[in-house]
């Protein structure tokens, strides 16, 4: 009965439109009360959920992303990408993917990627004769690169949800190859669709323009080098790297590019505070909710249920992927990371799969959920920027879904995709 109250009340809160964080909190508190546990324990769980030092990196990463968005770094990255790969057939689609790979590796946020690059590229693609659904499809699906390519605050959430036994720096490194692989698959899909629809190619601007655009974009790209390189070399902790990255982003946009106005700075601060508040409330409530899941032995039940169906690791991994994909379609990504990690991680360890690999599988599945109806936040933002109905976009987005799925299967069944770089750096 306790588990029915926990899950049933949470589902009811989501159905009536209550924010996911509050739904988690209400369901957890109600279950605490039903079990006769002191409510002070529930509030202790809420506080302990956010009382983790590494979580301080999240507001820094979010703020750095906002500064780079409003400070003009995104535009310079797009110009560099356009000069580099814009000359292929349907080049702006490939430029879109390449830009997402570069900007996602700096901002670490899929929604920020759609907002920043979508507002630049979608109007330009429509002016150049690209269909609006194609422009939105490429922008939305390629935004997942920000989840995988470091730095990614979702990786920090995964490490915290896993109980702190997973190195955040190893997670950062493990995401590089899967992120690039997924972008290659998406670029191929963008090219094939562009050829089928007969989209034009842009003339190659010349090596001089390419070199100038690279030099112009280099100060912005160096932000990721500071954040990731500082962590990997041991110079910074993850939190310290986030702080230094934020300071560097502010200096670049203010002194080097001179494009950060006072209004843009205020907007960046406001958006960063709002986003951080949402994330921290979600983490706190998910911590109490996760405690009640463990109290009701849900992880153990899941392991028993799945292994009773099949003991074949391939079949079990396919089932886990299917469950994560379905959950990603109906719930927020951050909440699912915090809830699903402690549930599935024991099963993953039982199968002998490295937690780093599972982290990449989790990120790609839930990232795909950001691009799917009914609650895909990236899909909503992309459709709003492109001023196109979601129904039209969903009808033609399937080649890009297939590209992400192909990359997901490689990450799932070829461990070396995720583990080679961390293994090399560990030596």
Output the DSSP codes for 226-289.
HHHHHHHTTSS-HHHHHHHHHHHHHHIIIIIS----HHHHHHHHHHHHHHHHHHHHHHHHHHHH
In this structure, the number of other CB atoms found within 10 A of the CB of residue 425 comes to 12
The whole-number pLDDT of residue 358 equals 92
Tell me: the pLDDT tens digits for 62-107?
888 788 777 777 778 777 877 777 677 777 788 888 877 777 656 5
pLDDT above 90 coverage of the chain, percent: 8
pLDDT, mean of residues 309-333: 83
Contacts of 108 (CB under 8 A, 6+ apart): 61, 65, 146, 147, 150, 151, 152, 153, 154
Q: Categorize the per-residue pLDDT at 185 as very low, low, confident or very high, splitting at 50, 70 and 90.
A: very high
Q: Is residue 378 within 8 Å of 143, Cβ to Cβ?
A: yes
Q: Is the pTM of this model over 0.75?
A: yes
Q: Categorize the per-residue pLDDT at 181 as very low, low, confident or very high, splitting at 50, 70 and 90.
A: very high
Tell me: the pLDDT tens digits for 212-238?
888 888 887 777 777 777 777 777 777
The whole-number pLDDT of residue 109 equals 66
Mean per-residue pLDDT of the chain: 82
Q: Which of 339, 117, 95, 97 is nearest to 213 (CA)?
A: 95
pLDDT above 70 coverage of the chain, percent: 97
Domain layout of the chain by residue ranges: 52-426
Q: C-alpha angle 345/398/198, rounded to 5°? A: 140
Handedness of CA 193, 196, 198, 204 (dihedral sign): positive
Q: Categorize the per-residue pLDDT at 400 as very low, low, confident or very high, splitting at 50, 70 and 90.
A: very high
């Amino acid at each position: 009965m306790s588990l029915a109250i926990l899950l049933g009340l949470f589902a009811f809160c989501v159905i009536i439109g209550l924010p996911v964080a509050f739904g988690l909190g209400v369901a957890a508190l109600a279950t605490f009360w039903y079990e006769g546990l002191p409510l002070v324990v529930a509030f202790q769980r809420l506080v302990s959920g956010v009382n983790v030092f590494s979580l301080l990196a999240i507001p820094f990463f979010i703020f750095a992303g906002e500064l780079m968005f409003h400070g003009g770094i995104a535009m310079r990255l797009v110009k560099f990408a356009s000069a580099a790969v814009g000359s292929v057939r349907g080049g702006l689609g490939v430029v879109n993917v390449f830009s997402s790979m570069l900007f996602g590796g700096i901002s670490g946020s899929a929604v920020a990627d759609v907002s920043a690059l979508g507002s630049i590229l979608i109007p330009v693609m429509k002016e150049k004769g690209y269909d609006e659904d194609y422009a939105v499809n490429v922008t939305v699906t390629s935004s997942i690169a920000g989840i995988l390519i470091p730095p990614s605050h979702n990786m920090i959430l995964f490490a915290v949800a896993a109980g702190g036994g997973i190195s955040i720096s190893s997670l950062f490194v493990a995401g590089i190859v899967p992120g690039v692989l997924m972008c290659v698959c998406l670029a191929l899909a963008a090219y094939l669709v562009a050829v089928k629809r007969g989209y034009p190619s842009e003339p190659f601007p010349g090596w001089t323009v390419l070199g100038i655009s690279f030099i112009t974009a280099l100060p912005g790209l160096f932000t990721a080098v500071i954040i990731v390189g500082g962590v990997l070399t041991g110079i910074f902790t993850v939190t310290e790297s986030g702080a230094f990255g934020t300071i560097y982003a502010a200096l670049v946009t203010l002194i080097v590019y001179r494009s950060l106005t006072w209004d843009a700075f205020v907007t960046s601060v406001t958006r960063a505070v709002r986003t951080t508040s949402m994330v921290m409330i979600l983490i706190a409530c998910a911590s109490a909710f996760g405690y009640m899941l463990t109290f009701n032995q849900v992880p153990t039940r899941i392991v028993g249920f799945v292994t009773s169906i099949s003991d074949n690791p391939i079949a079990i991994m396919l089932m886990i992927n299917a469950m994560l994909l379905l959950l990603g379609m109906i719930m927020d990504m951050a909440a699912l990371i915090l809830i699903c990690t402690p549930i599935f991680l024991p099963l993953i360890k039982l199968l002998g799969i490295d937690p780093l690999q599972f982290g990449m599988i989790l990120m790609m599945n839930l990232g795909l959920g950001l691009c799917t109806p009914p609650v895909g936040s990236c899909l909503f933002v992309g459709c709003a920027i492109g001023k196109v109905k979601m129904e039209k976009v969903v009808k033609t987005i399937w080649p890009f879904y297939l590209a992400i799925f192909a990359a997901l299967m490689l990450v799932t069944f070829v461990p070396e995709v995720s583990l080679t770089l961390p293994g090399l750096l560990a030596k």
